[in-house]
Chains A and B, each alone.
Chain A
């Protein structure tokens, strides 16, 4: 009946949301001291499964066993007590409190009615030292990077004696170099017998850390097995139920035209330090220019400034040889520069409004007649875009918030494409998007390039940079360390440039 060789076991889990069976008979067996990766497309039910385990959701059917003991209905508090901790995709640390205060938030050691700060800080420091996390317990969370926040979250889990730690796409927000730190920590925990449940979309990560793999698709359990039984092709095929021949379908015969965008000596200084300095590059029609670098290299800040979201301190921007004076995004839009932000929900969409409204937002003037908006024209144009980009929606009047990540991203693209775009800036265009939609977006990028658009693509995934870029700009600490041609660009050459260290 029970199998104590498993730390955690889920049998035939069913979770129904109004109108959808998010989980439909999922099985999961987690051994101690193993990294167990859950694979599946976006919307496959991975996060729902994790939230069912940790008690955020209550399963409608199925059983859960922890150390061989059946677990009934449980809450998040119950699972934390049992020793199951979850590190969410988006962390919300209290930024202005110290590491120690965050680790013991809500369970501070007390001396009478007062917090025992001495014990709070010494306990935390001991914990950090044990885990080889190189921070001081007195530092505030604001001083730490997102990877740092994750390490603190892991420390917090350990301080609560977690035996199973669930990580939902921890690497999606951090750069490749920082991932090493995270993996180091995961390997250490594994040696201590902690089981890690890990969700990720990145193939290379799966094969680096996975001991065991469970694949789910459309809420159904497909299979589980040791990671050594899989390679990338087989895994993707099982996840999507179809073979994807080329994950990055960059077409190499796209003609490269004249210089469209040229920037010279762009610099942005802020009171708390420079964001970027002395940036110059050229971008040609039909070209995809990749921007690589560690998180914090200043790539997004640079693009925000070119697009007019932030101000430049100095430097010049030319479009087709004409000097632009961009004081607001409206000026950039008028000139034909489009930007798809890395923060889709924050800067891409008005989530509460319909697809119709979002698509028409940028180029509303196209649909104005005598000062009034012609909605049936927007309907037609939106329908056209929905077909062109293969956006999956019931109808264009549904709120943007109801769409999956991939479809949301396509709506953002659609909003720009109904206008005349000369330069398209894409900041992490496929982050958090499932494999199928990802390759569709890559195909669209090739198509835009072929039509003569000049494209800038920031990506923190090296395979994407290598697969899609004609040239790669590598940045570090706000400066360009080098620009590589497609033939020169390799994982090694980029990482070397991105981490070469600067003499100031």
Chain B
């Protein structure tokens, strides 16, 4: 049977190029039907708007490939972002704004690693579903952010802090540069490192991975560390863009990040997914949100649309997979 000619199979074709096609179609549709959509300013704006969610998507991609999930990302960026703001405010007087920014970012990264480390540790140690663990973290992190800030926005950071989210290098927003650098790093990790291969193996078949000498629990813990790091970077970027540390912000950001992954062809069942797909998925969702804003569509309707998008993406994933399996 392995020598038969490959016939055209829509499921397979869609699995490979579907996301990209979808991007092209939606982009063209937006250009045609949405006034003011096509223009340098608006397109740059879209990339800036999606930076936080996309970086979260890169992180959670690693976790989803393993068949796990993180539903706490929105709270995590609130906590980490607020802590970075508070650190900034606390030290900028004594050590100067530049150095304070470094310390602020380092403390955010450390906190991100800590949260990711705890997530991975508890999930592997007690063998509990990632959904339950991160559901708990959702309120713990949110509570922590509100507790530390007293429920009030953190302000008074030196303007250098805001430059990460609001600044430009030439015509390109700094946040977009960070986004692209992280894209390259994550792409390399996923496609070219031993950890990346192990990630797909454990996500595809944890038993077979174990029987090949791979420590699957260690792979899971590392994936959550990366997820935590990405949440840290996203958290700083998020607060920096708003200019204040908002302990109640970031609600449902995890949902947008997961949607980006799924629209980008990552299967929630684990074992497959690409960073390129997640980037494209995030851009698609970003265009749809932007187009709705430009068209003046009511924010409540936008929420409904968002929910339907992820539902359709998952259904498409399941249906195309089934079609591909049938064609075998």
Indicate if B197 sits at the interface (CB-CB under 8 A): yes
Complex contact A402–B2 (CB within 8 A): yes
Residues of chain B at the chain A interface (Cβ within 8 Å): 1-7, 9, 188, 192-194, 196-198, 200-201, 204-205, 207-215, 271-272, 327-328
Interface of B is mostly: loop
Check if A332 is an interface residue, CB within 8 A of chain B: yes
Cβ contact within 8 Å between A350 and B271:
yes
Interface segment, A139-147, A353-361, A473-481? A353-361
Distance (whole angstroms) from the CB of B133 to the closest CB of chain A: 23
- Residues of chain B with a CB closer than 8 A to A20's CB: 1, 4
In the complex the two chains form, is B1's CB within 8 Å of A404's CB? yes
Known contacts A347-B208, A364-B197, A392-B2, A372 near B192 by CB under 8 Å:
yes
Within 8 A of B (CB), among A327-363: 328-330, 332-334, 339, 341, 346-353, 357, 360-362
Considering the complex, give the chain A residue whose CB is closest to the CB of B201: A350
A182 at the interface (CB under 8 A from B): no
Q: Tell which of A20, A307, A361, A365 has the most Cβ of chain B within 10 Å.
A: A361
Of the candidates B7, B188, B208, B328, the one whose C-beta lies within 8 Å of that of A372 is B188
B7 and A19 contacting across the interface, CB-CB below 8 Å: yes
Q: Is the CB–CB distance between B204 and A350 below 8 Å? A: yes
Complex CA distance for A401 and B272, rounded to whole angstroms? 14
Other-chain residue from B198, B208, B214, B215 in contact with A346 (beta carbon distance below 8 A)? B208
The 22 listed contacts between A and B (C-beta, < 8 Å) are A18-B7, A329-B214, A330-B214, A333-B213, A346-B205, A346-B208, A347-B207, A347-B210, A348-B208, A349-B208, A350-B200, A350-B205, A350-B208, A353-B200, A361-B201, A361-B214, A371-B193, A371-B194, A392-B2, A393-B2, A402-B328, A404-B1
In the bound complex, what is the Cα–Cα distance between A404 and B3 (angstroms)?
12
Residues of the A chain whose Cβ atoms lie less than 8 Å from the Cβ of B208: 346-350
How distant is B204 from chain A, measured CB to nearest CB, in Å?
A: 4
Q: Which residues of A contact B212 (CB under 8 A)?
A: 329, 333, 361-362, 415
Assuming A350-B271, A353-B204, A357-B201, is B194 touching A373 (CB within 8 A)? yes
User: What residues of chain B lie closer than 8 Å to A401, measured between beta carbons?
Assistant: 328
A394 CB within 8 Å of chain B? yes
Interface string of A141-171 (1 = CB under 8 A from B): 0000000000000000000000000000000
* In the bound complex, CA of A362 to CA of B204 (Å): 15
Q: B213, A330: Cβ atoms under 8 Å?
A: yes
Provided the pairs A333-B212, A350-B204, A362-B212 are in contact, do residues A372 and B1 lie with their beta carbons within 8 angstroms? no
Most buried by A among B192, B200, B201, B271: B201
Among B7, B197, B208, the most chain A Cβ lie within 10 Å of the Cβ of B208
Give the residues in chain A near B194, CB-CB below 8 Å.
364-365, 368, 371, 373
Q: Chain A residues with Cβ under 8 A from B211's Cβ?
A: 307, 309, 329, 339, 341, 347-348
**Chain B residues with Cβ under 8 A from A353's Cβ?**
200-201, 204, 271
Question: Which of A350, A401, A407 has the most chain B CB atoms inside 10 A of its CB?
Answer: A350
Q: Is the CB of A18 within 8 A of B197?
A: no
A352 touches B1 (CB 8 A): no
Q: Which residues of B contact A329 (CB under 8 A)?
A: 210-214
Residue in chain B with minimal CB distance to A364: B194
User: Residue-by-residue, is A371-389 near B (CB-CB < 8 Å gives 1, otherwise 0)?
Assistant: 1110000000000000000
Question: How far is A398 from B1 in the complex, measured between Cα atoms in Å?
Answer: 13
Q: Is the CB of A372 within 8 A of B213?
A: no
In the assembled complex, A43 has its CB within 8 A of some CB on chain B: yes
Contacts of A362 in B (CB 8 A): 212-213
Is A173 close to B, CB under 8 A? no
Shortest CB distance A360–B (Å): 7
- Alpha-carbon distance between A478 and B96 when the two chains are bound, in angstroms: 71
Map CB proximity to B onto A450-485 as digits: 1 under 8 Å, 0 otherwise.
000000000000000000000000000000000000
Q: Is A247 an interface residue (CB 8 A)?
A: no
CB distance from B8 to the nearest CB of A (A): 9
Interface string of A96-131 (1 = CB under 8 A from B): 000000000000000000000000000000000000
The minimal Cβ–Cβ distance linking A378 to chain B, given in whole angstroms, is 10
Across the interface, which residues of B come within 8 angstroms of A330, CB to CB? 213-215
